[in-house]
């Protein structure tokens, strides 16, 4: 990607997340806070830790980190979408957290002093960064022995895939034949396996790199709950790219499938992450 293409990519990603920010993580299933809390529990963050959370969004990782780091620690979240930053700053104030801070900053342009952080985290966003260049810079900002931890989404290869196959087919069907999705829409595929994400960390110089997959099943209340959620996160890329007729068809046919999937617990969705952890 040349620098013009990189800028277009960034504008498209940040623009979409900025429009989603008021409802991001606030409607439908709460997979970001579920996986953020899961990651922080795994990391056993000590009180007093100095942490950077790259592409913090609405703080799915930042808030559990702040709780573990405690008043003697410091957790800094950065994000390039202005509305993510203002919403998260308001939540930090509302919770009265003195150890948490959020700033508007490009994750690819971080320029903190070397050896400043004990831990750097990044959830559901490394694929939006120019990570081949950025990961070595992040590594340099860790203290010796410091850790870098990332979670990245993957689609579980189980009956869930069969359950939601219609969604992939319908999404494809509402776009014109031969349509190629922009790279921002399909960026997560770049590092969606333990092999790919592990290699990215090792190439950046991290040692003792380990990976782990984790899945969970969460339930939408009903089809309206799912629809609100679709607009609140990455799938919004696809919705915003549909023609008015395509979007109308997509919603109508999706609702028919979703009604057929309804159970007493709601509409099940099995979601997964790959977690990778590396040391400086
Ligand atoms: C899927 S969200 C993940 C947010 C959060 N980490 C979480 O787990 O919920 C992706 C986030 O990456 C941010 N982002 C995308 N490109 C970025 C960049 N170049 N620098 C900083 N943040 C970026 C978006 O604004 C958005 O908040």
Per domain, the residue ranges of the chain are: 3-157+187-221+270-279
List of the chain residues with pLDDT < 70: 157
pLDDT for position 188: 87
pLDDT for position 15: 98
Residue pair 100/66 in contact (Cβ under 8 Å)? The answer is yes
Positive or negative, the CA dihedral 100, 102, 107, 113 is: negative
129 CB less than 6 Å from ligand 1? yes
- CA dist 148 and 151 (Å) reads 10
79 CB less than 6 Å from ligand 1? yes
Q: What is the DSSP letter of 112?
A: P
Q: What is the DSSP letter of 129?
A: S
pLDDT for position 158: 72
13 CB less than 6 Å from ligand 1? yes
130 CB less than 6 Å from ligand 1? no
139's enclosing H/E stretch is helix 131-140
- Domain 3-157+187-221+270-279, CATH class in plain words: alpha beta
Instruction: Tell me the best of 20, 40, 125 to mutate to test the pocket of ligand 1, counting ligand atoms within 8 Å of each CB and taking the most.
Output: 125
- CA dist 216 and 29 (Å) reads 11
């Amino acid at each position: 990607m040349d620098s013009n293409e990189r800028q277009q990519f960034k504008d498209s990603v940040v623009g979409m997340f900025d429009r989603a920010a008021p409802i991001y993580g606030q409607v439908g299933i709460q997979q970001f806070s579920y996986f953020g809390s899961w990651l922080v529990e795994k990391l056993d963050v000590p009180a007093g830790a100095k942490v950077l959370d790259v592409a913090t969004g609405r703080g799915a990782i930042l808030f559990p980190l702040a709780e573990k780091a405690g008043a003697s620690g410091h957790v800094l979240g950065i994000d390039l979408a202005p509305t993510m930053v203002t919403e998260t700053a308001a939540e930090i104030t509302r919770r009265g957290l003195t150890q948490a801070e959020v700033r508007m900053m490009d994750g690819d342009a971080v320029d903190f002093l070397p050896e400043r952080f004990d831990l750097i985290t990044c959830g559901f966003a490394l694929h939006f960064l120019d990570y081949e260049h950025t990961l070595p810079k992040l590594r340099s900002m860790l203290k010796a022995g410091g850790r870098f931890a990332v979670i990245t989404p993957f689609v579980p290869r189980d009956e869930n895939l069969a359950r939601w196959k219609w969604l992939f087919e319908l999404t494809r069907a509402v776009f014109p034949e031969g349509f190629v999705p922009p790279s921002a829409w399909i960026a997560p595929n770049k590092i969606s396996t333990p092999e790919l994400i592990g290699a990215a960390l090792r190439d950046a110089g991290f040692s003792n790199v380990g990976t782990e997959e984790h899945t969970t099943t969460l339930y939408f209340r009903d089809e309206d709950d799912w629809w609100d959620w679709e607009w609140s996160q990455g799938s919004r890329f696809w919705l915003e790219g549909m023609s008015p007729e395509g979007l109308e068809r997509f919603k109508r046919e999706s609702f028919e499938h979703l009604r057929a999937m309804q159970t007493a617990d709601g509409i099940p969705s099995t979601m997964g992450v790959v977690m990778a952890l590396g040391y400086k």
